[in-house]
């Protein structure tokens, strides 16, 4: 006997967050599904436009040394219209950077979802610190109106060998609070996206969890420092990234998209 269509669609829906097999009422989708879609769209819009609660992030990171910087985009509206301005520091922010020998600098950036950063960036940073130990340098940088490439200028100005940017990803209609991590060796202005590694879709709603994401980031950092590269030339070893090996540990070391 053929499997009923309703059961087939039910099994498919369990395998994806996409809106499939919704059924219909007359010539239209069910009202509940229409309302759910409108709610998801509203949450995505809110995530993109809402201002970041930096005070809460600072309080959660206290007493760690912090550095607040701002991109060349003066406000949220400009940031959304001019992605190029979000990739460069405002002149007064660039003047705050002090060049020194640093291993790994972490940048927490609002990106396109403040909610993602507020909920997940601090726990992920702490999990990465637990894995990377003394490799993580001070200060932690908090970047406002930031795109991914802003981390290149920040890392270069601080003299970092590696920069890890934790940034709110562009929200979709299934998840509005997804976090992304971008790992770049020898950061400098002009780095291409192909020269960095991305760990994306970090969120508790069926995405990558904090501990698993920290494992992958730590592996990329260690291996990137060891090989002196990141990007397409650095292929993730799934077994090592999930704790199945030493992941190319440095001697003495205790590892969707916003552009």
Q: Which residues fall in the annotated binding site for adenosylcob(III)alamin? A: 148, 169, 198
Annotation: binding site? 148, 169, 198
Alpha-carbon distance of 92 to 103, in angstroms, equals 24
Q: How far from 229 is each of 77, 88, 207, 215, 226, CA to CA, in Å?
A: 35, 23, 27, 18, 8
Alpha-carbon distance of 14 to 11, in angstroms, equals 5
| Rg of the chain on CA atoms, in Å | 20
DSSP string covering 146-184: --TTHHHHHHHHHTEEEEEEEEEPPP-SS-S--EEEEEE
Alpha-carbon distance of 82 to 147, in angstroms, equals 10
Tell me if the bond preceding 105 is cis, omega within 30° of 0.
no
Taking a C-beta distance cutoff of 8 angstroms, is the pair 177, 115 a contact?
yes
∠ CA 14-17-22 to the nearest 5 degrees? 75
DSSP state of 4: P
In sequence order, what are the beta bridge partners of 109? 143, 167
């Amino acid at each position: 006997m053929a499997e009923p269509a309703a059961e087939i669609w039910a099994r498919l829906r369990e395998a994806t967050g996409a809106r499939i097999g919704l059924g219909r009422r007359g010539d239209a989708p069910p009202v509940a599904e229409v309302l759910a879609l409108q709610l998801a769209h509203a949450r995505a819009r809110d995530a993109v436009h809402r201002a970041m609660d930096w005070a809460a992030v600072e309080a959660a990171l206290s007493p760690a040394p912090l550095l607040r910087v701002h991109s060349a985009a003066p406000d949220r509206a400009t940031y959304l219209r001019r992605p190029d301005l979000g990739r460069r520091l405002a002149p007064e922010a660039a003047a705050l950077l002090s060049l020194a020998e640093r291993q790994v600098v972490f940048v927490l950036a609002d990106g396109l979802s403040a909610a993602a950063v507020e909920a997940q960036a601090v726990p992920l940073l702490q999990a990465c610190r637990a894995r990377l130990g003394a490799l993580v340098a001070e200060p932690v940088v908090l970047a406002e109106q930031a795109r991914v490439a802003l981390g290149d200028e920040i890392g270069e100005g601080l003299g970092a060998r590696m920069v890890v940017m934790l940034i709110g990803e562009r929200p979709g209609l299934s998840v509005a609070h997804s976090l992304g991590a971008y790992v770049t060796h020898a950061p400098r202005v002009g780095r291409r996206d192909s020269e960095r590694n991305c760990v994306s879709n970090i969120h508790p709603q069926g995405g990558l969890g904090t501990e698993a994401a920290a494992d992958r980031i730590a592996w990329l950092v260690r291996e990137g420092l060891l090989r002196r590269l990141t990007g397409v030339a650095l292929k993730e070893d799934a077994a090592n990234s999930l704790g199945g090996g030493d992941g190319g540990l440095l001697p003495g070391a205790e590892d969707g998209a916003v552009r």
